[in-house]
Amino acid sequence: MNLTIMVAEDDPNISLVVSEYLKAAGFAVISVPDGKKAAELIENEPDVDLYILDIMLPGPSGFELLGLIREYCADAPVIMLTALSDEHTQLHSFSKKADDYVTKPFSPKVLVKRVEALLHRCGKLKRILSFGSITVDLDNYEAYEDGTRVELTLKELEILKALITSRSRVLSRQQLMDIVWGNNYFGDERTVDAHIKNLRKKFSREIIRTVKGVGYKIMEAGGTEE
């Protein structure tokens, strides 16, 4: 993912939990325990993609750091993470151009989703599906095999997306028709077979497994059909 998050939080337990969840989601994390060190990083580290700031930090407060961020990197997303839940503090945060406001206690999983949503909205985080050597860029509707783009039709890409998303399950022809063509489509299920056949031809290795009498399943390259 190669995106960096700075977490300015003086509570070591909260800082550790937030950092570990962000790292598990694929982010690089810079943790700082006070406003002074955070201010130094804001001024000297231009490659931070998103900031998470506690308001009541020792040294410069989260509000002061927010002002500094807007001075040095105006477009960087900022999440205020604080025990202060009153309306005045929240409104003040947004007036200072914070992007989000999370009160303690909080769910680390939800915080990660908020981080991803902000990064996605500002164009720094793409929605990517991956399976083995196959990657699907959901924002640009492009597919890649070992980093090389594979030219797919819209329906082929939708089928591939459905199979990767359901990687642990076999999808029947009817399920694929419902997902890709919609519930109101009344075409023949052989349409799915034709698209699967064409999709297979476009990859250098076999990536779709046929489960006889059931349907199709994505598989690691080089597998065999049943």
β-strand 148-150 against 4-8: which pairing, if any? unpaired
Q: Which residue has the tokens 């981080």?
A: 115
Residue 225 pLDDT level (bands cut at 50, 70, 90): very low
**Using only C-alpha atoms, what is the Rg of the chain?**
23
Q: What percent of the chain has pLDDT over 90?
A: 59
pLDDT of residue 223: 41
In terms of average pLDDT, the best of 50-64, 130-144, 156-170 is 50-64
More confident residue, 33 or 128: 33
**What is the b/e burial string over 53-73, where b = at least 16 CB atoms within 10 angstroms of the residue's CB?**
bbbebebbebbbbbebbeeeb
pLDDT of residue 1: 52
Q: Rounded mean pLDDT of 178-194?
A: 82
Q: Which residue has the tokens 């959901």?
A: 138
Overall CATH class of domain 128-218: mainly alpha
pLDDT of residue 124: 83
Q: Rounded mean pLDDT of 129-152?
A: 88
CATH T-level topology, domain 4-121: Rossmann fold (3.40.50)
Q: Is 200 exposed, middle or buried (0-12, 13-18, 19+ CB in 10 A)?
A: middle
Across the chain, mean pLDDT equals: 88
How many Cβ atoms are within 10 Å of 95's Cβ, its own excluded?
8
Structure pTM? 0.65
Q: Rounded mean pLDDT of 113-122?
A: 90
pLDDT of residue 216: 93
Domain boundaries, given as residue ranges, for the chain? 4-121, 128-218
pLDDT of residue 87: 93
Q: Return the amino acid letter for 56.
A: M
Residue 199 pLDDT level (bands cut at 50, 70, 90): very high
pLDDT of residue 221: 52
pLDDT of residue 77: 95
Res. 224: pLDDT tops 50? no
Integer distance in angstroms from the first to the last C-alpha of the chain? 36
Q: Rounded mean pLDDT of 31-56?
A: 92
Sheet holding 134-137, edge to edge: 128-131, 134-137, 142-145, 148-150
User: Among 92, 102, 95, 90, which Cα is nearest to 53's?
Assistant: 102
pLDDT of residue 10: 93
